[in-house]
Structure 1
Amino acid sequence: MNEILGAALPLIVMLGLFYLIVFLPENKRKKKYNAMLEALKVNDEVLTRGGIIGKITSIQDDHVLVQTGPDRARLKISKNGIASVITESKTE
């Protein structure tokens, strides 16, 4: 019994460390990202995953309308396509 426990203990410790190093930070990052998506507001300036910077003009269920560029081009993108919020709107 002690031999089995002695052989399995390093494996259990390595799996525990792997969980602490990989899964916990990833879950924390996902929660923070989902909170950012839920907090999106009209007039927030966002950066998309494709590198496009623009202002949100409309928010639908799972899509946002982003206005960008000097010609005020409007793009309909998925909320998951937003990488980060650059500046939040001042209006509440």
Structure 2
Amino acid sequence: MPQQYSGIIMMVVFFGIFYFLLIRPQQKKNKEIQRMRSELKVGDNIITIGGIHGKILNIKDEVLTLEVGADKIKLQVSKWAVGSVKEN
């Protein structure tokens, strides 16, 4: 009888380890990224996931207008493309 349960117990233990080492940290990271993107405001300096550095000029729904480079070129990018916010 105990040998029958040992296989099930081992599967539960492995799933628990898998959850706490892989799934949960990824969920926390995703939640943090979503929070960062929802708190974006005009004037923030950001880096997109493509490596473009720019300053936010306008936010309209899910589209950001960025000012990029010394020539002050304006680009429109999706909010999901923001990788990080630079400290001023």
Provide TM-score, normalisation by structure 1: 0.90
Q: Deviations over 1:17-51 (max 9, x none)?
A: 00000111011111111110111010100000111
The alignment partner of 2:86 has SS state of strand
Give the Å deviation of 1:3. 2.1
Q: Percent identity?
A: 33
Specify the alignment match of 2:3 in structure 1: 3
1:17 corresponds to: 17
2:57 aligns with 57
Question: What are the superposed Cα offsets for residues 40-73 of structure 1, whole Å, 9 maximum, x if unpaired?
Answer: 0101000001111010000010010010101111
Root-mean-square deviation (CA, aligned residues, Å) is 1.1
- Does structure 1 residue 47 correspond to structure 2 residue 41? no
Give 1:31's aligned residue. Answer: 31
User: Which residue type is aligned with residue 20 of structure 1?
Assistant: F
Q: Figure out how many residues of one structure are paired with residues of the other and give that number.
A: 88
Divergent runs of 4+, >2 A: none
TM-score between both structures, scaled by the size of structure 2: 0.94
Specify every segment of 5 or more residues in structure 2 that has no aligned partner in the other structure, as ranges: none
Gap regions ≥5 residues in structure 1: none
